[in-house]
Amino acid sequence: MVRIGFAYNQKPDDEEARTGDDEPRADEEPPSSSRILQTRNDSTSRVAGAFQPQHTSNRSSTDDEYAEWDSSETVSAVEHALSGLGEVVRLKANADFPERLRAERPDIVFNMAEGLRGVNRESHVPAMCEFFGIPYSGSDPFTLSLCLDKARTKECLAYHGIPNAPFQVVHDASSYSGALRFPVFVKPVHEGSSKGITERNYCRTPSEMREQVAFLLDRYRQPVLIEEFLTGAEFTCAVLGNGGDAHVLPIVGMNFEVLPSGSLPVYGFEAKWLWDRPEQPLEIFECPARIDEALRCTIERVVLAAYRVLGCRDWSRIDVRLDAAGVPNVVEVNPLPGILPDPADNSCFPKAARAAGLSYDELIQTCVRYAADRQGVSLPSNAARRRRMGVARAAASS
């Protein structure tokens, strides 16, 4: 039987966070910062032209420390999906991971570990797999590190002529060159899962920008990306496959009209972690997105070009936003996409997979199969999988 290693990081529950093994020491800063969230009381709301953000505090009462890690429910759901292909060996991506990986030596590793610390944290698990010569799923260490660096990603995309918003990277609040058109949007350069992405990041003036840049520099201890704000519609695209077989699943559209009155049309920290609650879910995603055929084809061309240029493998999620002229611009590339199992949750990749006719288990297994095919690992045959992938590709192009 095939042995499948399962590499993951799991959010600690309240008790673990206080006393358990998952709680980092002062010099262990998962996923990238151990600084306690600071709240700046600011009762003055901005009158921002078309937008009037009502949530002006830089930090919410919810800590984003473990925002990139997965819940026990997601970990269990993925393990169940993997068990359909073979024996699953849990490999928690903590300090014991290298020794356990070497001792267990699975036939292939399914990697969804976001990492413990540092700007290359998402590359640690695949790098160790490569060191021990063990096949693994997903993108290689270079692509994972590149895509976690928003600025380097944009530089690479721009070099290859793939549209993305004009930008500048600053290391201190006074180093902005003044070359961008306002409004702008600012964000930490090395964070994921909407960490550091709040409504205050939308800046209409240089003074607002300097204030928020100073906060982000102090909070996250990393450079800050400043981008011209794209005013058009936003979409999320799930990509499966490799080479000529890579394809975009049905596109997910963002319906920002469901956000609280006066909110920015941004799917940031507030929308993702505060306003979207089990008792009152945000119906923010539309899948398939209600767009015409020409726009769908243009988005897919841009997305697949970015996927290939950046070296993504097996699967990735790519966020796209239209500029004022309606041109799709790449906003973010995530080679470790979120995969919440509950259909009631707003998780784009599983939502797109369901629209393509793939169940949650089939989505996970399809990713593993693409990885196994790349590396010559034999998995149990599955004629139904091939039929369903034909349905998925047909749905993606319809």
Q: pTM for the complete prediction?
A: 0.83
**Within a domain: residue 307?**
yes
Task: Identify which of 97, 133, 130, 100 has the alpha carbon closest to the alpha carbon of residue 115.
Answer: 97
**Within a domain: residue 388?**
yes
**Within a domain: residue 129?**
no
Report the length, in residues, of the chain: 398
Domain that holds residue 236: 145-149+231-397
**Within a domain: residue 375?**
yes
Question: What pLDDT does 65 receive?
Answer: 59
CA separation for the pair 243, 250 (Å, rounded): 19
Would you give per-residue pLDDT tens digits along the chain (398 residues)? 999 999 999 988 633 443 444 433 333 333 333 332 333 333 333 333 345 444 344 544 335 556 577 789 999 999 999 999 999 999 999 999 999 999 999 999 999 999 878 899 999 999 999 999 999 999 999 999 999 999 999 999 999 999 999 999 999 888 898 899 999 999 999 986 567 788 899 999 999 999 999 999 999 899 999 999 999 999 999 999 999 999 999 999 999 998 888 888 888 777 777 787 777 778 889 999 999 999 999 999 999 999 999 999 999 999 999 999 999 999 999 999 999 999 888 789 999 999 999 999 999 999 999 999 999 999 997 644 454 455 556 665 65
Q: Residue 351 is part of a domain; what is its CATH number?
A: 3.30.470.20
**How many domains is the chain built from?**
1
**Within a domain: residue 135?**
no
CA separation for the pair 37, 207 (Å, rounded): 23
Helix (H) or strand (E) holding 269: helix 269-269
CA dihedral 296, 326, 241, 142 (to 10 degrees): 180
**Within a domain: residue 211?**
no
348-355 vs 360-375: helix crossing angle, rounded to 10: 90
Question: What pLDDT does 194 receive?
Answer: 67
> Tokens standing for 239?
């990509």
The backbone torsions φ and ψ at residue 375, rounded to the nearest 5 degrees and listed phi first, read -115, 10
Q: Between the CA of residue 211 and those of 59, 131, 206, 242, what are the distances in Å?
A: 14, 44, 9, 43
Q: Which residues pair with 236 in a beta bridge?
A: 252, 319
**Within a domain: residue 80?**
no
Cβ neighbours of residue 26 closer than 8 Å, sequence gap 6 or more? 34
**Within a domain: residue 83?**
no
